[in-house]
Chains A and B, each alone.
Chain A
Amino acid sequence: MMIDTIIYIFLGIGVFFNGLGSFGLIRFPDVYTRLHAATKCTTFGSIFTSLGVIVYGFYHWHVDSASYGVLAIHAFIALLALVITNPTGAHAIARAAHRSGVYPKRAVVDKLREGDLSD
């Protein structure tokens, strides 16, 4: 019962932040601010939904059978992969956007454009 409540809270937080990320995608003006919404919110949201799966898996490993433990461990490995690859992908998209001439809208400063990075 207790465990179910914890899992629902985790799933609720996760879905809230994932939804907020999608909302930010529509609301923000340019590619960089949209990446802020898309990477940070979805990483945080996915951490919490995965935590829900991990808690579920470990609880049923304890109660039912060992195959639920496999579920928990695989969810944890997927979580690690997500936390490493998500910022890397965001960085790659931002870099590609700046290199192909998409500059930030409403920017107060753009050191990269003024900078001497001509390679």
Chain B
Amino acid sequence: MRSALVTAVMAFILYLILTVGTGDILFWSSAEIVAGILLSIVAGIFGRKLLFKNEDYRMLNPKRWIYFIAYLCPFLVAMARANIDVAYRVITGRINPGIVKISPGLKTDLGITMLANSITLTPGTLSVEINEKTNDLYIHWINVKHKEPNIEEVCNGFPKWIRRIAE
């Protein structure tokens, strides 16, 4: 019941963002608001088991969202550096590729997904495969410095941030 309600509220907020500027009750027309309420109730009923698996509401804690917004700063800096690095390698053709393995020690699905996506978007690294039993990531690294790298070299302290956000 609670998961259906929270899912419906989040679907309604997303609907309002998508239909902003359609009328003059604040920014929305009355038809859009009614349609949004009806559709988000339907979405909440059918999607209640997708968004909150096992009735786990830890992501509703606002502290995690504040950490997530703070995480965007080091992430965007790393992403800009990644692009300049890849631009350099595209122009010069100096590559030293290989697939390495790291053990970030994250436990939840959301955490490991965020880490894998962050790794793919940052310096010279691309996540290829995951060992689902131990949550080890196999990462294609465009400029391999060591064959047994520590985590800091590959993903610049992201696991610490993600542990605070998602675990």
Contact = CB atoms under 8 A, between A and B. Distances in A.
B127 interface: yes
Nearest to B116: A91
A37 interface: yes
Interface string A61-105: 000001101100110010000011011101100110010000011
User: Is chain B's interface secondary structure helix, strand, loop, or mixed overall?
Assistant: mixed
B87 A70 contact: no
B100 A106 contact: no
Interface in A22-66: 23-24, 27-30, 32-33, 35-37, 39-41, 43-44, 66
Q: Interface range on chain B: under 10, 10 to 19, 20 to 34, or 35 or more?
A: 35 or more
Given A98-B128, A108-B144, A77 B98 contact: no
A15 to B, nearest CB: 13
A90 B120 contact: yes
B134 to A, nearest CB: 10
Given A40-B82, A87-B117, A87-B121, A104 B99 contact: yes
Contacts of A88: 117
Given A33-B95, A109-B100, A27 B82 contact: no
Nearest to B82: A40
Interface string B1-29: 00000000000000001101100000100
Given A33-B97, A91-B128, A67 B121 contact: no
A1 interface: no
Given A33-B95, A108-B144, A115 B90 contact: no
Given A32-B128, A36-B142, A41-B90, 10 more contacts: A27-B93, A40-B79, A40-B82, A44-B80, A44-B83, A87-B116, A90-B120, A90-B126, A107-B98, A112-B129
Interface of B: 17-18, 20-21, 27, 79-80, 82-83, 86-87, 89-91, 93, 95-101, 116-117, 120-121, 124, 126-129, 131, 138, 140, 142, 144, 147
Interface of A: 17, 20, 23-24, 27-30, 32-33, 35-37, 39-41, 43-44, 66-67, 69-70, 73-74, 77, 83-84, 86-88, 90-91, 94-95, 98, 104-113, 115, 117
| 8 smallest beta-carbon distances between A and B, as pairs | A87-B120, A109-B98, A24-B90, A70-B21, A111-B101, A87-B117, A44-B83, A112-B138
